[in-house]
């Protein structure tokens, strides 16, 4: 226990010091890792802890990105004020999708498919209606001042992403030690048993997806502010949904550190394969090489380590 605490403190110190000494490239990679870990944790709450596998978490991510961007561009809101509004919007979308799907009794692959359908419907809508500027996408005017949630020095995005990641870890940690989290795990492990033990399975699943939607939406706003541009494919495309799912599955679904481990691993693989492709001429045309490696990794993990990389660190990482 004490050793764990020490390790965590060291990791945190390293994460804080890193951007001060590392080259700018590594800082950007760090932003990506913490951002992925954050949105991955959103997936982990509903998919890992509560066991409701979603293929369409981009619907929440995109809702957040579009909500804050529209509020800024169309209504002239300050980005910092638009952020909590985006979080609320993500929670509402999560709540509605949960009510519709779980009231209809959708579970397992049916639930996964309906979330995918929602994300695709949102993507097509965002592509068609005028208040999202349709397929053109939305460009946030660059005005790099901290008051605008824009920073000239990427180090601030790095620290913000780190803070978000820590918040998401704390939420997951809390889930491993409170009643809500225990009930989600009960729902995941066996719905009938959970029901017999007095758990309102429907209500707990709705709460989980609402919380998850809120977190993913917070990630959406962060992304929009970092890149100052979103379009329907970036916001609601299946890529984001898969990324969230993948980092969590690789790292360890239903564990505190799974999404972070997964984000570190996948980002590392991604950067390594890119470097490799630029060095080895034969690999130049194999693009993107990282997807092939992801595929192999996923096969290995599902086959050999179904509880993810976190399993390598602890005998039992799942909690109630």
**What are the residues binding another protein (CB under 8 A)?**
177-179, 182-183, 185-186, 189-190, 192-201, 316, 318-320
Cβ 203 to another protein, closest distance in Å? 9
Cβ 170 to another protein, closest distance in Å? 16
Cβ 211 to another protein, closest distance in Å? 18
State the Cα–Cα distance between residues 208 and 58, nearest whole angstrom.
16
Question: 184 or 218: whose CB is closer to another protein?
Answer: 184
Angle separating helix axes 58-73 and 108-128, nearest 10 degrees: 20
Question: 147 or 316: whose CB is closer to another protein?
Answer: 316
State the Cα–Cα distance between residues 59 and 240, nearest whole angstrom.
9
Cβ 187 to another protein, closest distance in Å? 9
- What Å distances lie between residue 97 and 59, 100, 172, 192, 213, CA to CA? 10, 5, 22, 22, 10
Cβ 72 to another protein, closest distance in Å? 40
Helix, strand and coil in the chain, % to nearest 5: 75, 0, 20
Question: 77 or 202: whose CB is closer to another protein?
Answer: 202
Question: 97 or 175: whose CB is closer to another protein?
Answer: 175
Tokens representing 285 are 């045309």
- Of the candidates 272, 273, 253, 271, which has an alpha carbon nearest to the alpha carbon of residue 262? 253
In three-state form (DSSP H/G/I as H, E/B as E, the rest C), the secondary structure along 89-141 is HHHHHHHHHHHHHHHCCCCHHHHHHHHHHHHHHHHHHHHHCHHHCHHHCEECC
Question: 153 or 189: whose CB is closer to another protein?
Answer: 189
Helix (H, G, I), strand (E, B) or coil at 285: coil
Question: 186 or 259: whose CB is closer to another protein?
Answer: 186
Cβ 320 to another protein, closest distance in Å? 3
* Dihedral, 55, 60, 61, 63 alpha carbons, nearest 10: 140
CA quadruple 132, 85, 172, 269: dihedral positive or negative?
positive
Cis peptide upstream of residue 178 (ω within 30 degrees of 0): no
Question: 133 or 318: whose CB is closer to another protein?
Answer: 318
State the Cα–Cα distance between residues 40 and 171, nearest whole angstrom.
13
Cβ 15 to another protein, closest distance in Å? 29
Match 């790095």 to its residue by tokens.
158
Cβ 318 to another protein, closest distance in Å? 5
Question: 133 or 183: whose CB is closer to another protein?
Answer: 183
């Amino acid at each position: 226990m004490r050793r764990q605490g020490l390790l965590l403190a060291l990791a945190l110190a390293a994460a804080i010091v890193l951007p001060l000494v590392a080259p700018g490239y590594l800082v950007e990679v760090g932003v990506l890792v913490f951002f992925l870990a954050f949105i991955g944790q959103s997936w982990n709450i509903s998919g890992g802890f509560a066991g409701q596998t979603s293929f369409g978490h981009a619907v929440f991510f995109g809702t957040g990105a579009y909500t804050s961007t529209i509020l800024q561009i169309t209504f002239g809101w300050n980005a910092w004020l638009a952020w909590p509004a985006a979080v609320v919007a993500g929670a509402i979308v999560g709540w509605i999708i949960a009510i519709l799907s779980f009231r209809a009794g959708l579970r397992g692959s049916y639930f996964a498919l309906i979330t995918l359908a929602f994300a695709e419907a949102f993507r097509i809508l965002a592509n068609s209606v005028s208040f999202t500027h349709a397929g053109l996408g939305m460009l946030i005017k660059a005005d790099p001042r901290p008051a605008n949630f824009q920073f000239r020095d990427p180090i601030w995005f790095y620290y913000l992403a780190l803070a978000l990641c820590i918040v998401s870890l704390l939420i997951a940690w809390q889930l491993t030690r409170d009643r809500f989290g225990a009930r989600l795990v009960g729902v995941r492990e066996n719905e009938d048993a959970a029901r017999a033990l007095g758990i309102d399975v429907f209500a707990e699943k709705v709460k989980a997806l609402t919380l998850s939607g809120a977190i993913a939406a917070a990630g959406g706003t962060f992304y929009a502010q970092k890149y100052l541009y979103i379009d329907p494919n970036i916001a609601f495309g299946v890529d984001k949904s898969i990324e969230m799912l993948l980092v969590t599955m690789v790292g360890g679904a239903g564990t505190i550190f799974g999404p972070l481990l997964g984000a570190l691993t996948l980002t590392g693989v991604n950067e390594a394969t890119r470097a490799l492709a630029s060095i080895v001429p034969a690999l130049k045309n194999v693009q993107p090489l990282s997807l092939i490696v992801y595929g192999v990794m996923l096969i290995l993990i599902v086959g050999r380590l179904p509880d993810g990389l976190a399993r390598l660190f602890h005998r039992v990482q799942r909690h109630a």
